[in-house]
Chains A and B, each alone.
Chain A
């Protein structure tokens, strides 16, 4: 019977575990499904975001190309203003037929013209270099220092690559990277050299939309970076990962390139991770929300489990309890009492003293005969109440049948002699209280109570032995005249 009870408990636990497992599985499924849906939607939005950013970069790049074209064309146009008067472009300083005085006057005129043309421009250089390296106009010390041994004219002449317009743009002259030059031939012995600081292009490369993380570069045909919004890159080669993705984008960069009027290129690039940063952040949030939702689901599930499943369990427990309780006396029925005592005895605790008491109402038959069976039942009810009142929760009380009751308790950590004394006191009290409770019935029918007590500290003792010993003691009490108890101790 006890084994059955254990089986029942284990199956109940397994059912609860199953219920929780079910909740967890559902929460996990919810988490996965929500996450998949979120990621699918965000993946789509990421692709849209990337495409939109790519379009925006392309638009910016195109705008910047137009800006730089406009800037280059302006420089070229200003240079052509030297062709407004033959003096400016035909003057040949190397012509020995021109007197020194005339040379001074020509050059003063040219100098004035240069000042007029460049009046509102931020040039680092704007001047004419003649075949003998003589210079007129603004030729900076920075440029002069590039050729400490001379050779300006020949060097800059070499950069004239457009033979129709007789001009050319160049960068990195003599290793210099802080400016870019425009060179135009004026006559067979004179070239115009103008230069602007690459830093100056910051004002050219302004665009209305600020795309975070975008690097704007101006590169020449050799992929030398002439300008970069990251100044530290100026003078270096275009990074391979950018150069390999011109006009498109790999997984790491979105790159766009536009060719300028002089074949230089504006290259804009943005690390993809920056474009998708918001999307990645949203993915994290979505994942978090999924986890939170799953958590909420789990909590709600557990709450339902607690509020619904547990009370139902309580109802079942209550029904079970009803089956275990003797309806009349309100104490355990015989089977339950026995099972409970057996369970308690199964506890491996060694240091304990068992107390088993058998109680039987003397002359109970007189009550049934004189006062009726209903009254007899009433006596049983009252006796059950009395016993429950006189004993605490740790004492098991059972009705074994008819007017026979049994008590079982155990005392831990106490010597048997002390237990025996306590039991005696308790039994005196039980007998005394019984007579008080049933004083009228005692007078009418002579009822009293007899008890057999068995006190035992034997380990591993079984129910039957306890029962048998106590029953023998009860028999002794009955035989000795009733309304008394007999205490037997395990020797």
Chain B
């Protein structure tokens, strides 16, 4: 009897073992077959194209951030187009005019007017509101991207000029940070004997510097609100004379000879740049052990206009022709508000305007950055500042001005003739737009 029970028990045990084994076998055979696949065809993906301009740092962190986003978004493939600012407007023109622009584009504030004066040049982001955290922007911030009632772009940061000086150079000459135009000339008197310049900058910054001087000295605006020229030939002539004086007296390094390396080495004491370029001109220099001091906007005593302008640093927009508006909107939202992306970007484009981005960066010491301090100063003077007129950044206008000015600077033309040439060339650019 006992023996019989033992056999029954053994059989039951064996049945259980076999049944468990069979179940495991079936599960293993019918389990996740993908796991076992050695190779498989690349799955179909939604392909997005995005474009931006910028410097090394921006290229690298943007690619890294977008790669991260792709990891978080299976089935999405993002390809890039990027390059330096110099020449980038031409690229954009080719893309926009050929209807071959990227789905998600970093755009300049001026391009809203150039490519979307009626609001149809870019996608209306209000239509994609369910994918974009628009609450992170104030109405005023959003208004910078509105054209003809359509939200064409969202600003990444607000931007204006700032000055950075090599404090070690200033100390070497017993100088302090200049506050007025006269201060700049006084400093040059001391530094010129050593072949050093007070300031150096690229041609775009120079154009804006000269506009500021013109508006302060004349009390008039350079451009009208509609982008047409407000300045006359006489005004341009006076400006050319001032420009030449800046170079001749050693205040300004000629733009064609301006090299960041000379600024880094102390051959040029200061520079004017966008707040968003702080990393390049301030932090870069500070990293070499040099003390850097932020300068003030040069002023003319008694001037009625400040002549200084503010603008959205850069903006993100979506191609009006995109075939993937939802995916593009989600990517745009990631670029503006995703904590990973914000941490990678930091203040490279200036202090972000998106609340979501600011709250992330505040936890990481945003308040201590030079960009933040410069932005705070900008906000303190906001009542004196105007929103930039897009033609102030128009590359063709700037090139026309520089080309005409070179004729005068190199004594190939009189100031009057050069001014006439500039006036005519700029008018042509404006009329052709």
- For residue B14, which residues in chain A have a CB less than 8 angstroms away from its CB? 295, 298-299, 302
Instruction: Report how far A210 CA is from B59 CA in the complex, Å.
Output: 27
- Interface pick from B78-86, B127-135, B217-225, B418-426: B78-86
Once the chains bind, are B38 and A278 in contact (CB under 8 Å)? yes
A-side contacts of B367, CB under 8 Å? none
Residue pair B38, A119 in contact (C-beta under 8 Å): no
B303 on the A face (CB < 8 A): no
Q: Judging by beta carbons under 8 Å apart, are A122 and B39 in contact? A: no
* Nearest CB on A from B420, distance (A): 19
A61 to B280, CA, bound (A): 40
Q: Classify chain B: how many residues form its interface, as a range.
A: 35 or more
List the one stretch of B20-28, B166-174, B231-239, B339-347 in contact with chain A: B20-28
Cβ B81 vs Cβ A210 within 8 A? no
Residues in B neighbouring A306, C-beta threshold 8 A: 7, 11
Q: Decide if A118 touches B87 in the complex (CB within 8 Å).
A: yes
Distance of A308 from chain B, by nearest CB (Å): 14
Q: Which B residues lie within 8 Å of A202 (CB)?
A: 67
With A178-B60, A210-B40 known as contacts, the answer to whether A144 contacts B261 (CB < 8 A) is: yes
- A/B interface sample: 16 pairs, CB < 8 A: A13-B3, A53-B38, A108-B403, A114-B87, A118-B83, A118-B87, A119-B90, A122-B83, A124-B59, A138-B83, A141-B260, A141-B284, A212-B38, A275-B38, A292-B18, A292-B21
The complex places the Cα of A99 from the Cα of B410 at a distance, in Å, of 10
**Smallest Cβ-Cβ distance to B407: which chain A residue:** A101
- A141 touching B280 by the CB < 8 A rule? yes
Report B-chain residues with C-beta under 8 Å of the C-beta of A298.
14
Distance of A115 Cα from B83 Cα, bound (Å): 10
Inter-subunit contact B15/A100 (CB<8 Å): no
Which of A282-290, A361-369, A380-388, A482-490 lies at the binding interface? A282-290
Residues of chain B contacted by A118 (CB below 8 angstroms): 83, 87
A186 to chain B, nearest CB (A): 19
Interface pair A119/B91, CB less than 8 Å apart: yes
- Which residue from chain B places its CB closest to the CB of A100 in the assembled complex? B410
A302 x B10 contact (CB < 8 A):
yes
Bound: A115/B86 CA distance, A? 8
CB-based closest 4 A-B pairs: A115-B87, A142-B56, A295-B18, A101-B410
Tell me the nearest residue of chain B to A291, going by C-beta.
Answer: B21
CA of A148 to CA of B306, assembled, Å: 37
In the complex, whether B264 has a CB less than 8 A from a CB of chain A is yes
CA gap between A103 and B255 in the complex, in Å: 13
How many contacts A-B (CB < 8 Å)?
A: 134
Chain A residues lying within 8 Å of B410, measured Cβ to Cβ, are: 99-101, 104
Query: B11–A299 contact, CB under 8 A?
Result: yes
Q: Which B residues are CB-close (under 8 A) to A33? A: none
Q: Tell me whether A299 and B84 are in contact in the complex, defined as CB-CB below 8 angstroms, given that A101-B406, A211-B39, A288-B24 are known contacts.
A: no
The yes or no answer to A172 lying at the interface (CB within 8 A) is no
Flag whether B412 is at the interface (Cβ < 8 A). Answer: yes
Task: Kindly provide the distance from the CB of B22 to the nearest chain A CB, expressed in whole angstroms.
Answer: 5
Interface flags for A122-145 (1: CB within 8 Å of B; 0: not) read: 111000000001110010111011
- In the complex, what's the smallest C-beta–C-beta distance from B68 to chain A, in angstroms? 11
B residues adjacent to A (C-beta < 8 A): 3, 7, 10-11, 14-15, 17-18, 21-22, 24-25, 28-29, 36-42, 55-57, 59-60, 63-64, 67, 79-84, 86-87, 90-91, 94, 256, 259-261, 264, 280, 284, 288, 403, 406, 410, 412
The yes or no answer to A277 lying at the interface (CB within 8 A) is: yes
Complexed CA–CA distance, A111 and B17 (Å):
79
| Given known A-B contacts A145-B284, A199-B63, A285-B29, A119 and B36 have beta carbons under 8 A apart | no
Let me know if B41 and A210 touch, CB within 8 A.
yes
Q: Which residues of A contact B59 (CB under 8 A)?
A: 124, 197
Cross-chain contact A122 with B28 (CB below 8 angstroms): no
Closest to B18 in A: A295
Q: Which residue of A lies closest to B4 (CB)?
A: A310
Contact A104 B38, beta carbon cutoff 8 Å: no
Measured between beta carbons, the chain B residues less than 8 angstroms from A203 are 79
B-chain residues with CB within 8 Å of residue A278 when the two chains form the complex: 36-38
Within 8 Å CB of A140, what residues of B? 55-56, 84
The one of B3, B56, B81, B264 that contacts A148, using a Cβ cutoff of 8 Å: B264
Contact residues in A for B284 (Cβ distance below 8 Å): 141, 145
Chain B residues within 8 Å of A16, by CB:
3
> How many angstroms between the C-alpha atoms of A426 and B334 in the bound complex?
100
A197 neighbours in B (Cβ, 8 Å): 59-60, 63
A227 CB → nearest B CB, Å: 13
In the complex, the answer to whether B39 meets A210 with C-beta atoms within 8 Å is yes
